[in-house]
Amino acid sequence: MEETYTQLADRLEAFTAADFEGHERERLKLIASARKLVSRLETDVERFYGISFAEPIIYAALKTCIDTGLLRGWTAAGGGEKSLEDIAKLASNDCDLNLLRRLLRLLASTNIIEETGEDRYKPTSFSLSIGDDSTLIAQALIARAHHWETCSQHFPSFLAKTSYREPLDSKKTSYHESFPEGLPFFERGLSNPIYQESWSGFMTAWAKYKIPWPQFYDTASLIEGADLSDGKPLVVDIGGHHGVDLLTLPGKHPDLSAGSLILQDLPGVVSGLDLGTDKVKVMGHDFFEPQPIHGSRAYFFHAVFHDWSDEVAIKILRNIVPAMKKGYSKLLICDIVIPPTGASIIQSVMDVNMMSLLSAYERTEAMWRKLINEAGFNITGIWKDPRDFEAVIEAELA
């Protein structure tokens, strides 16, 4: 029987993401099954140890290796198997050798790097990506320390103070109470460049993971019915951060005219932003103010409304109503649609994090229909991405 267990373990260890190229649903299903398997195999003590004791210090060790420049140096050196002494030389900060030994031992035991012998290690694709600044993964990891770690730790106390009422007031959040500045999430980010940088890094890295919306929504139908004469816009991306969503369109539709795509976000977010294309016009705009661009074919929001309660979201939506042309302009919302049962870990984690950070929430299809109808729109279609994570909801003025 022992041999059977060994063979099974070897088979499981042989799987990689590359084995599921073109089979994304199956890959995610196997990950979910693997998580369930681990939860069944672990004892209760092993499980509480992992959640309570192991996970926080694993993050601390990893962040130390980011802060010292070690992972950046290792990636810049081309990766490769190295001795402890050689790895220490890659850091931009002088690091005690035995301290480093203990940190690397931990990262190896959690498969962030790979141990190849006594005091010898080699990077994984994950650790190399952390060391590559262009991936923004290091900034995405640092965002935990800047934003949600402290907020998450405070969240149970916050809920106790509210007598365990669902938090729905964007002016009263766990995030407000978690930091000495007493600022809400977005204002605190803009108050300090390092907080904004890590948040932007997280947002951009996470956006690149998502399946681009033109891959599961028929953008050709937008263009076919669009009037782009005299510089009229095709899509206004409202609250679009650094333009990841708009930049997917020229690749699919290379003949789009200059300025036909408009990226809007707060001036502090888009100031000095260069997207490297004349097809996208960058504009500072607060979506709590009336929409200044009239007659666009589409007004697009991606992962905006999960930051706000229905009351606030309705105000945002009504600010675009006067700018829309009835029977022509479309409202496009790309966001999570939580299923009635079987929500994924990504969906449920995002939902409770929105509650902790912003006193907001992810929505079910029924919740989306209620919100959109109350704002003065009718839903004309819902297109889900191949992972069943997000969807594009299309609506028109009622």
Look-up: residue for tokens 């999960």?
A: 306
pLDDT reading at 52 higher than 70: yes
pLDDT reading at 227 higher than 70: yes
Does residue 33 come out as left (phi exceeding 0), alpha (psi in the -120 to 50 range) or beta?
Answer: alpha
| Confidence at residue 1, expressed as pLDDT on a 0 to 100 scale | 55
Length of the chain, please?
A: 398
- Over residues 122-167, the pLDDT tens digits come to 999 999 999 999 999 999 999 999 999 999 999 999 999 999 999 9
The answer to whether residues 68 and 95 touch, using CB atoms and an 8 Å cutoff, is yes
User: What's the one-letter identity of residue 298?
Assistant: A
Task: From 333, 345, 311, select the one nearest 377 (Cα to Cα).
Answer: 333
pLDDT reading at 362 higher than 70: yes
Contacting residues for 382 by C-beta, under 8 A, at least 6 apart:
337, 365, 391, 392, 393, 394
More confident residue, 16 or 323: 323
| Confidence at residue 8, expressed as pLDDT on a 0 to 100 scale | 83
Joined together, the tokens standing for residue 151 give: 């907020």
pLDDT reading at 3 higher than 90: no
- Over residues 244-290, the pLDDT tens digits come to 999 999 989 999 999 999 999 999 888 888 888 999 999 999 999 99
pLDDT band at 323 (very low <50, low <70, confident <90, very high): very high
Q: What is the Cα gyration radius of the chain?
A: 23
Contacting residues for 67 by C-beta, under 8 A, at least 6 apart:
93
User: What's the one-letter identity of residue 73?
Assistant: G
Contacting residues for 185 by C-beta, under 8 A, at least 6 apart:
147, 173, 175, 357, 358
Joined together, the tokens standing for residue 116 give: 């190849």
Known catalytic residues are 306
| Confidence at residue 232, expressed as pLDDT on a 0 to 100 scale | 87
| Confidence at residue 210, expressed as pLDDT on a 0 to 100 scale | 92
pTM to 2 decimals?
A: 0.90
CA distance 28 to 43: 25
CA distance 304 to 104: 39
CA distance 207 to 243: 10
Q: Residue 232 has what DSSP assignment?
A: -
Task: From 157, 162, 160, 180, select the one nearest 172 (Cα to Cα).
Answer: 162
Angle at which helix 365-374 crosses helix 310-318, to 10 degrees, equals: 50
The answer to whether residues 319 and 287 touch, using CB atoms and an 8 Å cutoff, is yes
The mean of the pLDDT values for the chain is 94
| Confidence at residue 377, expressed as pLDDT on a 0 to 100 scale | 98
CA distance 375 to 14: 51
User: What's the one-letter identity of residue 363?
Assistant: R
| Confidence at residue 308, expressed as pLDDT on a 0 to 100 scale | 95
Sheet hosting strand 113-117, strand order edge to edge? 82-83, 120-123, 113-117
CA distance 341 to 344: 9
CA distance 390 to 241: 18
Task: From 101, 108, 150, select the one nearest 127 (Cα to Cα).
Answer: 108
- Over residues 158-193, the pLDDT tens digits come to 999 999 999 999 889 999 999 999 999 999 998 999
**Measuring CA to CA, how many Å separate 280 from each of 19, 233, 303, 392?**
37, 10, 20, 21
Other CB atoms within a 10 A radius of the CB of residue 117 amount to 9
Count CA atoms closer than 13 A to 115's CA, side-chain side.
Answer: 14
The answer to whether residues 286 and 317 touch, using CB atoms and an 8 Å cutoff, is no
**Measuring CA to CA, how many Å separate 275 from each of 94, 241, 250?**
37, 11, 12
pLDDT reading at 366 higher than 70: yes
